[in-house]
Amino acid sequence: MTEQLCGKTVLIVEDDLDIRETFRQLLELEGYKVKTAANGKEGLDVLRRVGAPCLILLDLMMPVMNGWEFLDAQRSDPALASIPVVVVTAAGKDKEKTVGAAGFIKKPIELEVLLEVVKRYC
């Protein structure tokens, strides 16, 4: 059975448990529903199982399937391609490799910046 997401749901795709949980707790305190995944493959599985969130927060450097591979797979799937993705990473900003991302936030990030970005899309 497919679980349907409401308009204020965010998917966090981040391999660092501490960061993932901090983002989740902060967003839930602000009234958002949050789904999480530890790598790109898990993220795609969540999207295919529960449907489209209002935003995906995506780390780039992860095991199993990294952020660039996730973006390629997401953009090639018509059911998922329109979901906005904001890249959240410690990697340098590489415009060519993050083409298709709606935005970019460099780690370490200020939590106020994160909330502002999520509010913009949700």
As a whole number of angstroms, the distance between CA 59 and CA 86 comes to 9
For position 7, what pLDDT does the model report? Answer: 62
CATH code of the domain in which 37 resides: 3.40.50.2300
Q: Domain containing 80: what range?
A: 9-121
107 in any annotated domain: yes
95 in any annotated domain: yes
87 in any annotated domain: yes
Q: Categorise residue 99: left if φ over 0, alpha if ψ from -120 to 50, beta otherwise.
A: beta
57 in any annotated domain: yes
106 in any annotated domain: yes
For position 96, what pLDDT does the model report? Answer: 45
Mind listing the pLDDT tens digit of every residue in the chain (122 residues)? 334 444 689 999 999 999 999 999 999 999 999 999 999 999 999 999 988 899 999 998 888 988 889 999 999 999 999 999 998 877 665 544 556 688 888 888 888 999 999 999 99
Cβ neighbours of 22 (radius 10 Å) = 15
Number of domains in the chain: 1
64 in any annotated domain: yes
93 in any annotated domain: yes
56 in any annotated domain: yes
For position 17, what pLDDT does the model report? Answer: 95
